[in-house]
Structure 1
């Protein structure tokens, strides 16, 4: 089941979103979903990296962490 989330956009952000969706022919909802998905992935990646670094005897690189989450 899908949920609906209402957000408020500044006029500047709305204009950028409109330009992008017009140029690429995709709905604004898809752009916002992709942006949110990317943001959440990055946050989860950073949290996992932080946890692993606390436990590690040797430092992990971003590539090491990426391999764990992929």
Structure 2
């Protein structure tokens, strides 16, 4: 099931979105979905990294954490 999310974009972002989607043949919906997916992944990554660092005896690098969550 798909839900609808309505967002308001400032004119400058809307113009950039239109230019990019036309140039790359993408839909605005696919760009928004990709951006939200990326944001959520980064948020989860940072949260897990923070939790691991609190429990760890050694320091992990971002690459170490990425390998653990990928």
Structure 1-normalised TM-score? 0.98
Q: Which runs of 5+ in 1 are unaligned?
A: none
**Residues paired across the two proteins, number:** 70
Query: After TM superposition, where is structure 1 displaced by more than 6 Å over at least 4 residues in a row?
Result: none
* 3-state secondary structure, aligned to 1:48: helix
Q: Which runs of 5+ in 2 are unaligned?
A: none
Tell me what 1:32 maps to: 32
| 1:56 and 2:47 aligned | no
Q: 1:17-39 CA distances to partner (integer Å, 9 max, x unpaired)?
A: 00000000110000010011001
The offset of 1:40, in angstroms, is 0.6
- C-alpha separation in 1, matches of 2:19 and 2:36: 19
Structure 2-normalised TM-score? 0.98
The offset of 1:43, in angstroms, is 0.5
